[in-house]
Amino acid sequence: MSYAVIVFFDPETDAFVRRLWKGLEQVGVPNRYEIIKGRPHISLGVWDDLNEAEAIRRLPDFARRARPFAVSLAAAALLPDGDVYLIPDVTPELLHLYTETHRVFAGLGQQPRGNCRHDCWLPHATIGYHVEPSRQLPALDIIRKAALPLQAQVTEVGLIRFHPLVFVACRELGPDATRA
């Protein structure tokens, strides 16, 4: 079973990304997130296996020590495998939270994988998976017409398990956070 520690956006940014998903659907790009009931997010760490109980125990303190912060979704990227990303500016706050993720959850699972490994992180919010070549230009045109850069707020952190997607735990960021 795979796991990820991810951060979620404020409601306005969440709605913006969901509108992009809908726009991409209109040009033939399947909306994988709607199918699996996912939320727009940035992944901080992904593991093939993780001590779930201990990660759940550590998550509230991790969230309390962090603060909500601004991030600009400044660009889009099309990867060679057809994935389409929104790319945030790497702010000191985002980089610190990424580093803390790997410090706090170190030793709880197998080495982080993919573009969330500690040595080669590509921060992103995925908006399309394996987009077929014939759909890539129309998809990029949808994104080009979007109002980027978008000023977003990172407000929550979550632990997910996948596939299938299960939201294991979610906490608002900050010392006064109340949502569990």
Over the stretch 51-88, which tens digit does the pLDDT of each residue have? 999 999 999 999 999 999 999 999 999 999 999 999 99
Phi (first) and psi of residue 63, to 5 degrees: -65, -40
The model's pTM = 0.93
Place of tokens 């994935």: 83
Q: What is the pLDDT of residue 163?
A: 85
The chain-wide mean pLDDT, for the chain, equals 92
By C-alpha distance, which of 164, 170, 150 is closest to 15? 150
129 within domain boundaries: yes
Q: How far is CA 150 from CA 13, 73, 98, 118, 147, in A?
A: 8, 5, 21, 26, 6
Q: What is the mean pLDDT of residues 83-101?
A: 96
> What DSSP element (H or E) covers 7?
strand 2-9
80 within domain boundaries: yes
Pairing of strands 84-88, 125-128: antiparallel
CA angle, 30 as apex, 142 and 42 as ends, to 5°? 75
Q: What is the mean pLDDT of residues 82-111?
A: 94
137 within domain boundaries: yes
Place of tokens 């979620």: 8
120 within domain boundaries: yes
180 within domain boundaries: no
Q: What is the pLDDT of residue 93?
A: 98
User: How many structural domains does the chain have?
Assistant: 1
155 within domain boundaries: yes
45 within domain boundaries: yes
Residue range(s) defining the domain that contains residue 92 = 2-172
Beta strands per DSSP E along the chain: 2-9, 41-47, 69-78, 84-88, 125-128, 150-162, 166-172
Q: 27 or 180: whose pLDDT is higher? A: 27
179 within domain boundaries: no
Q: Could you tell me if 43 and 160 are in contact, meaning their C-beta atoms sit under 8 angstroms apart?
A: no
Tens digits of per-residue pLDDT, 131-169? Answer: 999 999 999 999 999 989 999 999 999 999 998 899 999
Which CATH number does the domain housing residue 86 bear? 3.90.1140.10
> What DSSP element (H or E) covers 85?
strand 84-88
